[in-house]
């Protein structure tokens, strides 16, 4: 892909505290010979456990879940961009133009988390120009196999599912495409080490019965495409890793013990939706304002 040069920039929050009791799942009666119950999860769920078991508990275990903090501006940008790109592929081929893509961003804009209306409008235009520059490098006739496509697979222990931003066909193979709008500069390690992308590739292959080993990160702010091609052994290692993570999370849930979900204090605590409910997180990092994830000097650049 030709590089669309846009300066990096697209990619948190105090709240009230309350006590929540962790309830273990009701014990199910079993009979000899019954199959083991599968642990249902997504790559996002597994990643949340790895990042912070306490946050995992807040998101997936506690009911009612503790209230989140205010929405993040960078999430609003990312959601608007993803929605616009999905809608662009839904247009008639003759209408798939850069101008149409920019218009879709403006129409799908989410004005939440920004400092004020002026900042929201500024980022709406930045995002519109960024998406227009990205689709200018695409062939509108090259129809994807799927857009926002849900894929799923089962193993002896897991029921995995996920939604792929775009699934392309290159020759006889499938390619997983994941859009990135963050200011983090991506490397090959991000594509190679991504558990989510590996799971998407495995699930896409099983769902559509086609070979799928190539994964790509499309970084819209810079136009960079970071690609990696897995072999069968690498995909198997990722799946083994998913089994290990799921086993840990499942055991913690079954325990019904809040202590099984320790906090993982660190710099990212300032960006956590549940900062108000986690004393360790607040002590580790001051909550960031909702617009802090937006790079201050990001603006489109000409080639």
pLDDT at 37: 86
Q: Which two tokens mark 200? A: 């998407």
User: Of 33-37, 172-176, 184-188, which gets the smallest average pLDDT?
Assistant: 33-37
**Mean pLDDT score of the chain, rounded to an integer?**
89
- Neighbouring CB atoms inside 10 A of 4's CB total 23
pLDDT at 19 over 50: no
The domains located in the chain, with CATH, are 73-135 (no CATH), 146-240 (3.90.320.10)
* Distance in angstroms (rounded) separating the CA atoms of residues 243 and 153: 13
pLDDT at 47 over 80: yes
* Distance in angstroms (rounded) separating the CA atoms of residues 176 and 75: 22
| pLDDT tens sequence across 97-120 | 999 999 999 999 999 999 999 999
pLDDT at 285 over 60: yes
* Distance in angstroms (rounded) separating the CA atoms of residues 282 and 288: 11
| pLDDT tens sequence across 175-184 | 999 999 988 8
Per-residue pLDDT, averaged over 215-236, amounts to 96
Local confidence band at 36 (pLDDT 50, 70, 90 cut-offs): confident
For residue 195, CA distances in Å to 5, 66, 67, 186, 189 come to 28, 27, 28, 15, 11
pLDDT at 43 over 50: yes
Q: Is 280 left (phi over 0), alpha (psi -120 to 50) or beta?
A: alpha
Residue 33 or 2, more confident: 33
What pTM does this model have? Answer: 0.84
Per-residue pLDDT, averaged over 23-46, amounts to 73
| pLDDT tens sequence across 61-96 | 999 999 999 999 999 999 999 999 999 999 999 999
Token pair 């519109």: residue:
128
Per-residue pLDDT, averaged over 6-31, amounts to 44
- Three state DSSP letters for the chain: CCCCCECCCCCCCCCCCCCCCCCCCCCCCCCCCCCCCCEEECHHHHHHHHHCHHHHHHHHHCCCCCCCCCCCHHHHHHHHHHHHHHHHHCCCHHHCCHHHHHHHHHHCCCCCCCCCHHHHHHHHHHHHHHHHHHHCCCCCCCCCCEEEEEEEEECCCEEEEEEEEEEEEECCEEEEEEEECCCCCCCHHHHHHCHHHHHHHHHHHHHHCCCEEEEEEEECCCCEEEEEECCHHHHHHHHHHHHHHHHHHHHHHHHCCHHHCCCCCCHHHHHCCCHHHCHHHHHHCCCCCCCCCCCCCCCECCC
Contacts of 95 (CB under 8 A, 6+ apart): none
* Distance in angstroms (rounded) separating the CA atoms of residues 104 and 100: 6
């Amino acid at each position: 892909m030709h590089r669309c040069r846009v300066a990096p920039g697209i990619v948190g929050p105090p709240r009230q505290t309350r006590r929540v009791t962790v309830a273990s799942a009701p014990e199910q009666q079993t009979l000899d010979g019954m199959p083991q119950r599968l642990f249902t999860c997504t790559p996002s769920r597994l990643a949340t456990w790895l990042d912070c078991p306490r946050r995992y508990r807040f998101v997936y275990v506690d009911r009612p879940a503790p209230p989140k903090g205010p929405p993040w501006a960078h999430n609003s940008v990312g959601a608007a961009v993803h929605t616009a790109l999905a809608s662009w592929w839904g247009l008639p081929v003759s209408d798939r133009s850069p101008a149409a893509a920019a218009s879709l961003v403006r129409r799908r804009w989410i004005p939440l988390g920004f400092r004020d209306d002026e900042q929201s409008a500024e980022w709406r235009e930045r995002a519109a120009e960024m998406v227009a520059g990205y689709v200018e490098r695409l062939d509108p006739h090259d129809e994807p196999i799927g857009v926002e496509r849900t894929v799923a697979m089962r193993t002896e222990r897991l029921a995995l599912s996920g939604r792929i931003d775009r699934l392309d066909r290159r020759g006889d193979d499938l390619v997983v495409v994941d859009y990135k709008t963050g200011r983090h500069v991506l490397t090959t390690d991000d594509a190679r080490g991504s558990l989510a992308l590996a799971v998407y590739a495995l699930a896409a292959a099983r769902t559509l019965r086609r070979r799928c080993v190539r994964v790509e990160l499309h970084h819209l702010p810079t136009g960079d495409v970071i690609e990696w091609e897995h072999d069968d052994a690498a995909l198997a290692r990722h799946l083994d890793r998913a089994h290990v993570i799921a086993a840990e999370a499942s055991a913690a849930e079954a325990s019904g013990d809040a202590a099984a979900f320790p906090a993982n204090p660190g710099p990212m605590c300032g960006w956590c939706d549940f900062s108000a409910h986690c004393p360790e997180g607040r002590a580790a990092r001051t909550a960031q304002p909702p617009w802090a994830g937006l790079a201050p000097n990001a603006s489109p650049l000409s080639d």
